[in-house]
Amino acid sequence: MRHCQVADPESSGHLTTGVETGGLHFQSTLRAARDALPASARQLLPPFHQLGLGAVPDIQEQLTRAIETGAAESLRESLEDSMGRARLLSESGVGAGAFLGAVPCMQSLRFTHECFTTALRIRLGLPHPALAGIRRCDCGEELPEGIAAGQHLLRCSRGGERTLTHDGIRDALYFILRDSGYSVRREARGIFPLREGETEGRVMDLVAADPQGGAAPSG
């Protein structure tokens, strides 16, 4: 349902005129439902006396988005640890978990069972059974309890997994840009001026130029 409209606009005005003060059960129920909405959702609703007099495009979608956004913000504010707030903010972004719902219609969209389970546990904030009983990383850092242990392993530079992940993302973007018609260089030097003490300068992962002119992404 994407519109809010009743079948008989002529009669609906009489039914809803007294909703703000009426004592009928449906009137008090409507007021209670409205008052339970977060402020961002309440302001999307037309006045009660206008309900049914015209269509409100996409009202259900807008209300749902406002309610879910308000719930996520309330949950984030209630969290005491900064890691939990940061994780919730990241995972509530548009498309943040879309890869878990991708239809595996080709090999490049498929996970191994172990990788999918790990990705899903990270998404849901669940501990990793494979880490049970392990108290210290190979880098020497003591692993905390719960999901924080897995978070450390994702960013730890020991073993090379982080570098492999970085290079894989860089290369995927390289091929996307190249196939889109950009001129792309990987690991480019000479883009930034040398800072004090530097001899070679910083490396840009990717530098892209649009042959047709205009701005091109880099990073």
Q: Does any domain span residue 129?
A: yes
Read off the pLDDT band of 52 (50, 70, 90).
low
Cβ within 8 Å of residue 154, ≥6 positions away: 122, 162
pLDDT at 144: 78
Q: Write the DSSP symbol of residue 129.
A: G
For residues 38 and 113, what is the distance between their CA atoms, to the nearest angstrom? 40
**Structural domain contains residue 177:** yes
pLDDT in tens, 75-109: 888 888 787 788 888 887 888 888 888 888 888 77
150 and 103 in one domain? yes
Q: How many CB atoms are located within 10 Å of the residue 3 CB?
A: 11
pLDDT at 9: 44
pLDDT of 214 strictly over 80? no
| 148 lies in the same domain as 169 | no
Domain count, the chain: 2
User: Which amino acid, one-letter code, is at 196?
Assistant: E
Classify residue 149: in a domain, yes or no.
Answer: yes
The secondary structure of residue 165, as a DSSP letter, is H
In terms of pLDDT, which residue wins out, 11 or 143? Answer: 143
Give the pLDDT confidence score for residue 219 in this predicted structure.
59
> Which residue in the block uniquely carries the two structure tokens 């905390």?
144
**Computed from CA positions of residues 188, 189, 195, 198, in that sequence, does the dihedral angle turn out positive or negative?**
positive
CA proximity to 122, closest of 145, 95, 149, 82: 149
What are 3-26's pLDDT values in tens digits?
444 444 444 444 545 777 778 888
Q: Which domain holds residue 165?
A: 160-191
Residue after which a domain boundary falls, among 138, 158, 178: 158
User: Which whole number is the average pLDDT over 189-215?
Assistant: 77
Q: Do residue 103 and residue 131 come from a single domain?
A: yes
Question: Residue type for 113, please?
Answer: H
Q: Which helix (H) or strand (E) holds 155?
A: helix 147-155
The pLDDT score that the predictor gives to residue 7 is: 41
User: Looking at the domain assignment, is residue 178 inside a domain?
Assistant: yes
pLDDT category, 1, cuts 50, 70, 90? very low
Residue 207 reports pLDDT greater than 80: yes
